[in-house]
Amino acid sequence: MVIEKQYQQLVGRLLGQIKSGFDTSVIGMYDCGKNYTYDLIPKLIPGVQGMSLLHLGSLGSTREDWWRRLTEELGSDEVGVGLRRLLRKGKVCLLINQGYMVLIPEDFLTLWKELKEEFGQRFSVVFFANTHILNDQYENQDLYIDLVLKAERLTILPLDRQDTDITLRMYEARYGSKVRKDLRERISSDSGGNPGILKSLYMQYLDDNYIENWNVSDSRLVYRLDRLTRELSDMENRVLVGQSQDDESRLFLKKYGYLTEDGECFAPVLKHYLEIGSQKGAGLLLDDCLSKLLTVSEKKIYLRLGNNLSKILTREQIAEEIWGSDWFTKFSDWALDQLMSQLRRKLASKQGYGELITKRGEGYYLEK
């Protein structure tokens, strides 16, 4: 099995973090190879002497899903008791692949803090997550910052050209069709080294073995591009298409690979997608104050409500705005309640942005 060099090196660095007992967040843009890298760990790190590695896999949005996976892995209904039993025997590291736009249950954060205080670096947590994790809001934000945002951080960047070619060859082997030599460079370049975008472009190529112009409305591609841009703030998306030069946004986008060293959007097809959306007037642009105040998920909700003033939106409609078309597989009443409560408080703290109203049994609407 040929593995991309970048992912091998990343897992190698992660091994050092695991051995040290440091909590670590492994973060990258949507479809950056996060899931693939997480799945490589058992192959490249079969074990660490004196340590129990607990692979919790991809966790859903509900509190119940998190605790069910923990009890299954520990073989104990009492998660705290099961973990303490293992910790008395040696080190324990939890490896978690956090789902798209999924919030961490706060009682898990509380248990994490308790075990850290009790056992120190004998207990550690490794989170694989997309960049939304840097903007998520919690009831106990200080606890989240201390445990997650202050953890050691490894970044998953877009692949270089050599590794992109390895990934493309994997797709060719899987689907049994090679890309014409004169089009390989274009597919690789336009994907920007994002494995998900690369796959979508390859699938378009398979339709007729020729490419004149990419179809950015193709469901296989737009699904990925939409999720990728949803994780970014309005200001950050404006920077990607050259509509803003905001320094803070540019630093963030460069750090996580959205911008190249030359300051260009990393994937030409993504820039084209954003430009088309801008020309169509898609979405209401937030002012700088609100853009900095709200999280990514809160912005989505506010924009949807703002474009439908005084119109009631159901919880299901709002859930789809947050989690996408397959929201029902990730829906969490708790997470949605948290988001709406936080949004209401933030809007109430500023004048001129409207009031979030709850219509019991029906949904929510924005009144200005």
Please give the pLDDT value at position 291.
64
Tell the burial category of 357 from Cβ atoms under 10 Å away from its Cβ (0-12, 13-18, 19+): middle
Q: Which of 71-75, 158-162, 190-194, 279-283 comes out lowest in average pLDDT?
A: 279-283
Residue 278 in this model has a pLDDT that exceeds 60: no
Average pLDDT over residues 341-351: 88
For 30-45, write each residue's pLDDT tens digit. 999 999 999 999 999 9
- For residues 365 and 50, give the distance between their C-alpha atoms in angstroms, rounded to a whole number: 55
Please give the pLDDT value at position 97.
94
Please give the pLDDT value at position 280.
45
Q: How many CA atoms lie less than 13 Å away from 358 in the CB half-sphere? A: 9
**How many CB atoms lie under 10 A from the CB of residue 356?**
20
Please give the pLDDT value at position 61.
67
Residue 273 in this model has a pLDDT that exceeds 90: no
User: Which residues have C-beta within 8 Å of that of residue 212, sequence separation ≥ 6?
Assistant: none
Q: Taking CA 109 as the corner, what is the angle to CA 34 and CA 32, rounded to the nearest 5 degrees?
A: 10
- For residues 277 and 283, give the distance between their C-alpha atoms in angstroms, rounded to a whole number: 8
Q: Which of 86-90, 155-159, 333-337, 341-345 comes out lowest in average pLDDT?
A: 333-337
For 113-154, write each residue's pLDDT tens digit. 999 999 999 999 999 999 988 887 787 888 888 888 888 999
Structural domains in the chain, CATH included, are 5-156 (3.40.50.300), 161-279 (no CATH), 288-367 (1.10.10.10)
Mean pLDDT of the chain: 88
Instruction: Name the 3-class secondary structure at 256.
Output: coil
| Assigned token pair, 82 | 């099961």
The DSSP symbol for 261 reads: T
Please give the pLDDT value at position 59.
77
The DSSP symbol for 120 reads: G
pLDDT bin (cut points 50, 70, 90) of residue 282 is very low
Please give the pLDDT value at position 285.
47
Q: Which of 72-81, 190-199, 249-258 comes out lowest in average pLDDT?
A: 72-81
What is the total residue count of the chain?
Answer: 368
Closest alpha carbon to 194 in 168, 231, 159 = 159
Cβ atoms of 110 and 80 within 8 Å: the answer is no
Amino acid at 214: W
Strand order in the sheet with 24-28: 51-59, 91-98, 123-130, 24-28, 152-156
Question: What one-character-per-residue DSSP string does 131-194 give?
Answer: GGGGT---TTHHHHIIIIITSEEEEEPPP-HHHHHHHHHHHHHHHT-PPPHHHHHHHHHHHTT-
Q: Which residue in this structure is represented by tokens 């694989």?
A: 128
Proportion of the chain above pLDDT 90, given as a percent: 50
- For residues 197 and 25, give the distance between their C-alpha atoms in angstroms, rounded to a whole number: 23
- For residues 13 and 18, give the distance between their C-alpha atoms in angstroms, rounded to a whole number: 9
Closest alpha carbon to 60 in 335, 340, 314 = 335
pTM of the model: 0.76
